[in-house]
Amino acid sequence: MSDFTPTEMMTIAAARQLTSKDVCFVGIGAPSAACNVARLTHAPDITLIYESGTIGTAPDVLPLSIGDGELCETAVSTVSVPEMFRYWLMGGRISIGFLGAAQLDRFGNINTTVIGDYHHPKVRLPGGGGAPEIASSCGEVYITLKQAKRAMVEKIDFFTSFGHGEGGDHRQRLGIKTKGPTLLITDLAIWRPDPETKEFVVRSLHQGVTREMVQETCGWTVRFADDLEETPPPTHEELETLRALNERTRLAHSGGKAA
């Protein structure tokens, strides 16, 4: 029996993809956890940027939202939101955008707006925020997602953040010059887009995960790489770092005091 959870594996697998050279636009939730684990372990010089305008932030606990004071207090600099988007993001100064999703299709298109019909939705979600601009203006996009058929769907209900559209060269035909989604990390596997079709393909299964488990939690027919690998399990340092971060966050947000 593994001594780590699927969520811990997903977070650590995502953190491993980052380096000290990256300038990363961080989404709240799982992306924030992954980016800060990277900063606290193998990528101490990574530059983390949040949508509220904080640059080079190094939070001791995970923020509840982009407006969390922890981000501004630990940032190298804080700029206005218009400057963040127009100068930093749209100016091509951010290498990686790290996003989550409510719905995702095989080409990395993201829905965080509504489930169901837009005018009469089953669920109205928080919306895109800055994600649509992140998806089009960052050098490339990483996505984290817990696998479920309701989340990984054949066709998303609303295009919030454009991935690879209909696949192939759709981004280029629309004049979008950035790479788009180049990596998907779930609680079961690591996926990368096919170089030609841009459909996500499973490249690595996490420890104890089978092909059947991946297919059962995905709403489209999954493609697996011919040279399918197994994701290395978390190291002691990675797990301890993530768990300590989560515990500090829990104490801070519950009114307690972090050690």
Domains in the chain, CATH or no CATH each? 6-253 (3.40.1080.10)
Is 14 exposed, middle or buried, given 0-12, 13-18 or 19+ CB atoms closer than 10 A? Answer: buried
Residue 176: pLDDT over 80: yes
Angle between helix 30-40 and helix 6-15 axes, rounded to 10 deg: 60
- Residue 51 annotated among the catalytic residues of the structure: yes
Residue 248's pLDDT band (boundaries 50, 70, 90)?
Answer: very high
Give the gyration radius of the chain's Cα atoms: 18
Catalytic residue among 8, 51, 70, 238: 51
- Residue pair 76/55 in contact by the 8 Å Cβ criterion: yes
pLDDT digits (tens, 9 = 90+) for 181-211: 999 999 999 999 999 999 999 999 999 999 9
User: What pLDDT does residue 2 have?
Assistant: 61
Average the pLDDT over 25-52 and give the result. Answer: 93
pLDDT digits (tens, 9 = 90+) for 222-239: 999 999 999 999 999 999
The pair of three-digit structure tokens given for residue 128, joined into one six-digit string: 């895109």
On whether the pTM is more than 0.85, the answer is yes
